[in-house]
Structure formats: structure tokens, C-alpha cells
Amino acid sequence: MKEFSTSECRTLEEVIRYRRDVRGNQFLDKKIPSEILNKILLAAINAPSVGFSQPWEFVIIEDSQRKAAIKENFRSENTKASKVFTPLRQTMYDELKLEGIHEAPTNIAVFYKPCNHPVLGQNSMKEVGIYSVVCAIQNMWLMARALNIGMGWVSIIDPEQVKKTLNAPSENQLVAYLCLGYVDNFYDKPELETKQWEKRKPLADLVYKESY
């Protein structure tokens, strides 16, 4: 049985602590070598999945025209998203850089592919298949950070339009659109915390014993 040392545990704690959602103004014009990208993808497929269903598929996007289509998708959705906030928040929102589609050398669309047969453990909670894909994404994020590669999750997009752009099967569901690349630096704190968009919630406010 593999056991880990105290120093290895501390390294994992630091990788988790210093993981960041990276924006476009931080990416460098430096291609990710294929062997490094494979490490990130291997981390993804070693994530836990309900019933060992492994319901994930990945589309790597580096073509500028496809990126341009995704970027236009983002612009359209971002205009709508800005309007849901109060005027003060809207001003703050408009100043944020919320994607790095063109700046990141590699984009990855992560899909949930439903199984065509019953899945162990997915009868009562159908959504755990999608949760499994999210576990894969977290593995990617942590491995990318351990390799000093930035990763950002672009959620302000129309998933059906992304599917059309990427010719995705109709049954597949887009879970995440990710931007990856080397960066000029990693912030000490999450950018939205630094800019006071939100405050970090203390652990004591989030944990209950036995019941709420």
C-alpha cells in the first residue's frame, strides 16, 4: 500500500491553497508541450467517478477560428450577465477580465457523456454523473497548478452554441470550458477576493455537527 510522507502532504496542501482561476491578462504566449498536457489529462481521467463510469470526454481547441467563435459566444453572454447586477456591481463587473480564450494557447472543453446503460450508484441521484466530471476538472486544476500552468474556467458562455462550434454529440453536456497556459505570475490570493468582489467564508460558518 502506498503511503505518503508529511512533506508530500504539505506539498498537496500548498497546491490546493495556491490554485487560482487564471484570467487572460496573465497568460504567456508559450505553448504547452504535449507531454505536459497529457499529464493534466491523465490526472483528469484518474478522478473518482460514480460506478466507475468515467463519463468524461475532452475536446482540445487550439485553432484560432474556433477560439474566435467561442469568444463571440462569451461576448454575447457577458453582455447579458452584466445586467443582472446593481449599478455599482455592474461597474466592478465590467472592469473584470473574465476569460482568456484567445490568450491561452490551449482551450479544453470538458463534456459529460451519459452512459447508455444503468450506472451503479446513479439511480437515486442522476446528477452524480456530472459531479464525477467536476471531480475530473478539479484534478486537472490541481495538476496544472503543480506544473506551474494556469487554468481558468469560462462559465459565461452558451453551452449549446459551444456544442455546435465543436460538433459535439447531441447527448453530450458541456460541463466546463477551460483555458490553460503558462502565466506571468500566480496571485497570492484569488483575484475576486483581492478585488473585494466576495470575502472568503470562514470554516466555522460552514460546518455543522449531526444536523443543521
Over residues 175-202, mean pLDDT: 95
Write down all domains in the chain, each with its CATH number in brackets. 21-195 (3.40.109.10)
- Cell readout for 41 is 489529462
**What is the pTM (predicted TM-score) of this model?**
0.95
pLDDT band for position 112 (50/70/90)? Answer: very high
For the chain, what is the largest distance between any 2 Cα atoms, rounded to a whole number of angstroms?
57
List the one residue out of 16, 28, 50, 41 whose CA is nearest residue 145: 16
CB 59 within 8 A of CB 188: no
Q: What is the pLDDT of residue 189?
A: 93
Whether pLDDT at 88 is above 90: no
| pLDDT tens by residue, 114-155 | 999 999 999 999 999 999 999 999 999 999 999 999 999 999
List the one residue out of 34, 35, 7, 22 whose CA is nearest residue 141: 22
Over residues 87-103, mean pLDDT: 91
